[in-house]
């Protein structure tokens, strides 16, 4: 698309703020040496997509910079906490191009370190006396926990409906994107309807982001028993009962069969990509409430880039 910003160019718009966020994330607290070790291992890594989103919305709305950086740090730290727990649940081996914390320190320490990062985030909010932010984040974390639990309970469940899947994706991933946008709005001089539009930008971007993740992770998700949209659409498209039974059985055995690959390539992958694109377009449309700026352009392009990401 002509004139589209690249990911590095979008990051460049708030590069100084992102560097401050990263430095803040890596500050050792001394609460327990192992928490500092886990945090040093994982805390400064990743794409920092949620922090980037928050900082861009804040700039687009003319928010005070110090508050935006503080909230972006908190959102990223909560994200890391959720990943520490997620990797225990998923028995993941790697995270952010390094060994997962559960591999290095074991499940128990990984869970406690996640609890610590989550608590540290709320302590920071308490210290800043930021009740609005606390309310937005506490309710966001509740939704994330409920959705992660739902996902767990539907592991290996091929009767999962598309609506149930989208509810899980919305809760576990899109919530924190929505929260990031809403937090930036809360420290800006915007109306209630503008804040709601920004929240919906984040929410729809987040859904598209997770759909893209599910397209990247098909093989790994099959091993974990995770039923994601490409797999649901593939199963839905099989009319031959015997073939469906065969594929369900291979999935139950965590096997990615050639037959499933053929069916995925025959339409399920394309349909998932198209749906993700629709969510990106909904997200972008919500940005119309913002005055034109390079930050608004960055937000629009960032959502679209989620679709072509490779990690």
- Binding residues (CB under 5 A) for Mg ion: these are 86, 90
Contact region with ligand FPP (CB under 6 A), list: 48-56, 82-90, 194-202, 241-249 = 82-90
Are the beta carbons of 299 and 285 closer than 8 angstroms? no
Token duo for residue 45: 């890594």
Q: Cβ contacts of residue 73 below 8 Å, gap of 6+?
A: 21, 24, 25, 51, 124
Q: Tell me: does residue 111 bind ligand FPP (CB under 6 A).
A: no
* Residue 242, Cβ density class (10 Å: 0-12 exposed, 13-18 middle, ≥19 buried): exposed
Residue 89 interface partner, choices Mg ion, ligand FPP, none, CB cut-off 5-8 Å depending on type: ligand FPP
Separation between Cα atoms, residue 114 and residue 77, nearest integer Å:
9
Q: Tell me: does residue 276 bind ligand FPP (CB under 6 A).
A: no
Are the beta carbons of 69 and 15 closer than 8 angstroms? no
Question: With respect to Mg ion, which residue has the nearer C-beta, 86 or 130?
Answer: 86
Residue 141 interface partner, choices Mg ion, ligand FPP, none, CB cut-off 5-8 Å depending on type: ligand FPP
Token duo for residue 305: 């880039």
Instruction: Tell which residue, 303, 302, 297, has the closest CA to residue 277.
Output: 303
Site size for ligand FPP (CB under 6 A): 18
The correct pick among 11, 85, 199, 296 for binding ligand FPP (CB under 6 A) is 85
CB of 90 to Mg ion, least distance (A): 4
Residue 278 interface partner, choices ligand FPP, Mg ion, none, CB cut-off 5-8 Å depending on type: none
Residue 13 interface partner, choices ligand FPP, Mg ion, none, CB cut-off 5-8 Å depending on type: none
Q: Tell me: does residue 278 bind ligand FPP (CB under 6 A).
A: no
Question: With respect to ligand FPP, which residue has the nearer C-beta, 173 or 204?
Answer: 173
CB atoms near residue 157 (< 10 Å): 11
Are the beta carbons of 307 and 208 closer than 8 angstroms? yes
Angle of CA points 191, 194, 196, to nearest 5°: 110
Q: Tell me: does residue 48 bind ligand FPP (CB under 6 A).
A: no
Q: Tell me: does residue 78 bind ligand FPP (CB under 6 A).
A: yes
- Residue numbers at the binding site for ligand FPP (CB under 6 A): 78, 81-82, 85-86, 89-90, 92, 114, 118, 141, 144-145, 148, 172-173, 213, 217
């Amino acid at each position: 698309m002509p004139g589209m910003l690249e990911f590095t160019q979008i990051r460049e718009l708030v590069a100084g703020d992102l560097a401050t966020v990263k430095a803040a994330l890596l500050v050792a607290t001394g609460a327990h040496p192992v928490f500092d070790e886990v945090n040093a291992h994982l805390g400064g890594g990743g794409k920092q997509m949620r922090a980037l989103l928050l900082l861009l919305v804040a700039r687009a709305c003319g928010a005070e910079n110090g508050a935006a950086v503080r909230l972006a740090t908190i959102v990223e730290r909560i994200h890391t906490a959720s990943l520490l727990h997620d990797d225990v649940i998923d028995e993941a081996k790697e995270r952010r191009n390094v060994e997962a914390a559960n591999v290095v320190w074991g499940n128990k320490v990984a869970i406690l370190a996640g609890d610590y990062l989550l608590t540290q985030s709320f302590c920071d909010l308490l210290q800043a006396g930021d009740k609005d932010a606390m309310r937005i984040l506490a309710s966001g974390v509740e939704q994330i926990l409920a959705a992660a639990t739902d996902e767990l309970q539907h592991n290996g469940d091929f009767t999962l409906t598309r609506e149930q899947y989208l509810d899980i994706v919305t809760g576990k991933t899109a919530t924190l994107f929505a929260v990031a946008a809403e937090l930036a709005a809360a420290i800006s001089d915007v109306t209630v309807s503008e804040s709601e539009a920004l929240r919906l930008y984040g929410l729809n971007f987040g859904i598209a982001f997770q759909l893209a993740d599910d397209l990247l992770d098909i093989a790994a998700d099959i091993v974990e028993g995770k039923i994601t949209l490409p797999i649901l659409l593939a199963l839905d498209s099989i009319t031959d009962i015997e073939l469906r039974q065969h594929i369900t059985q291979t999935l139950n055995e965590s096997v990615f069969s050639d037959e499933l690959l053929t069916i995925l390539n025959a339409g399920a992958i394309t349909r998932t990509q198209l749906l993700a694109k629709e969510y990106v377009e909904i997200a972008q449309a919500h940005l119309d409430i913002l005055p034109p700026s390079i930050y608004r352009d960055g937000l629009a392009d960032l959502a679209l880039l989620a679709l072509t990401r490779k990690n």
